[in-house]
Amino acid sequence: MITILDFLIILIKEVFVIGICLSLVPVLVWLERKGAALIQDRIGPNRASIGFLRLGGLIQLVADSVKMFFKEDIMPTSVNKFYYYLAPFIAGMVPLMTFSVIPFADNLQIAGSRIPMQVLNIDAGFLWFFAIVSFSVYSVVLAGWASNSKFPLLGGIRASAQMLSYEIPMGLSVIGLLMIFESIHLNDFVVQQGELMWGIIPKWGIFMQPLAFLIFTVCAFAETNRSPFDLAEGESELVAGFHTEYSSMKFGLFFMGEYISMVVSSALIVTLFLGGWQIPYLNTNMIIEHSKILMQFSCVAGAMFSFFISNRLNDYSKYYKDRWKDSRDKEAGIFSALTMILGIALLATFGLVSFVELPDFISPLFAMVAQTGAFFGKIFLVCWLFVWVRWTLPRFRYDQLMKLGWQTLMPLALINIFLTGAFLQFLGNK
């Protein structure tokens, strides 16, 4: 029986997950543009501003999205309207649905009840993930076909063949993990990854199954249609591939969908191979036990970091005193002051934590916040890997792509299964 409280908890988790996914999109676009710029020895977007607020280029994305909303929405007369409209919806919606099975912290033991920190706590686990993520191929295929134009059609065909081919090694590479962890519930995976191997190395998937990690990551790149596998929108050959005929916010949805699926793929990579919400060498009980000292430590570390940032911003504002010759010049100074205040506030929290007796429910909450932070920090790092690879590698040729998928990754995944089985047989269970 589901009570109103349960319902509220689920609603809060849902809003949290969707909010995080959607708000990571502009951050990732910013990361991509700034990262690309810095890799190529440029500065990147830094000019757009609301008043004095520049945020190092983040405001550029506000300008971009306003532009995208208000642009003329052109629809070619020859399209199949229903599927033409359906495609961007699928592109934007499907990745958001897949995030729901991913646990972002350990089960919260609070006031006698146990709250799982994942929206959809079902036993199907990542089978759900694979089932739903396969839908995203429909957005590409439908967009390509419904546009009734040659370039989108070619892009759609390419993308569908590519995504279907890479789904197979992707699925096969995870089987090794299944054999080790003996569960398909994602939270079980993460809990088991908290143990230590030979007392030193955390039992993360990447250390247990390095080959599977490699295959899975390559396939995740291909699944999200990211470079070096972005043949579906290879602009040198196909204009813009499957979304050539889309304009304004319909294009925006494809664009957002790409970044959301990037977040979701990195979330799964983190959950399966990088220990999920586990903080290495600190399991949940240890965090709750030593919560006081850990809180003190994180307050002090955060305060030090704030002061460091504040100092750097102060240098920056002195160096660029009259760069823009308007209120934007004061931004760095203002943020320097704000981070200084933040640092002082953290020190005050340190005092509060040290000298005031804290209620019982703070410790599990602190553990949850710390684990959620660790989880999203890891996601951010994997997303950076996506960006980093995009600005390093050139695009594959189509035959190379297919050869890699079928002749290299699939046999490797099969070998991985065989090796894992052999190890488990001869070295005893785990």
Question: CB-wise, 56 or 202, nearer to other proteins?
Answer: 56
The least CB distance from residue 320 to other proteins, in Å, is: 9
Question: CB-wise, 120 or 231, nearer to other proteins?
Answer: 231
Question: CB-wise, 391 or 406, nearer to other proteins?
Answer: 391
CA-nearest of 294, 296, 265, 287 to 385 is 265
Question: CB-wise, 221 or 251, nearer to other proteins?
Answer: 221
CA angle at residue 98 from 392 to 276, to 5 degrees?
Answer: 70
Question: CB-wise, 181 or 386, nearer to other proteins?
Answer: 386
d(CA 422, CA 430): 12
DSSP letter at 296 equals: H
Contact 287/279 with Cβ under 8 angstroms?
yes
The least CB distance from residue 205 to other proteins, in Å, is: 18
Interface residues with other proteins (CB under 8 A) are: 35, 38-43, 214, 319, 323-324, 388-389, 391-393
DSSP letter at 185 equals: -
The least CB distance from residue 251 to other proteins, in Å, is: 28
- Residue 203: what are its φ and ψ, rounded to 5°? -80, 50
Question: CB-wise, 81 or 403, nearer to other proteins?
Answer: 403
With the C-alpha atoms ordered 228, 233, 236, 240, is the resulting torsion angle positive or negative? negative
d(CA 212, CA 217): 8
d(CA 183, CA 178): 6
C-alpha pair distances (Å), 186 with each of 113, 165, 233: 21, 24, 33
The least CB distance from residue 47 to other proteins, in Å, is: 9
Contact 373/354 with Cβ under 8 angstroms?
no
CA angle at residue 404 from 400 to 407, to 5 degrees?
Answer: 115
Question: CB-wise, 16 or 391, nearer to other proteins?
Answer: 391
The least CB distance from residue 108 to other proteins, in Å, is: 37
d(CA 398, CA 406): 12
d(CA 58, CA 331): 13
DSSP letter at 276 equals: T
The least CB distance from residue 363 to other proteins, in Å, is: 37
The least CB distance from residue 228 to other proteins, in Å, is: 9
Question: CB-wise, 150 or 318, nearer to other proteins?
Answer: 318
The alpha carbons of the chain give a radius of gyration, in whole angstroms, of 24
Question: CB-wise, 34 or 250, nearer to other proteins?
Answer: 34
The least CB distance from residue 85 to other proteins, in Å, is: 39
β-pairing verdict for 113-115 and 196-197: unpaired
Question: CB-wise, 397 or 430, nearer to other proteins?
Answer: 397
Tokens of 79: 């399209």
Tokens of 187: 């939270």
Contact 368/117 with Cβ under 8 angstroms?
yes
- B/e letters for 220-235, b = 16+ CB within 10 Å, e = fewer, are bbbbbbbbbbbbbbbe
The least CB distance from residue 53 to other proteins, in Å, is: 19
The least CB distance from residue 374 to other proteins, in Å, is: 23
Contact 212/173 with Cβ under 8 angstroms?
yes
The least CB distance from residue 123 to other proteins, in Å, is: 36
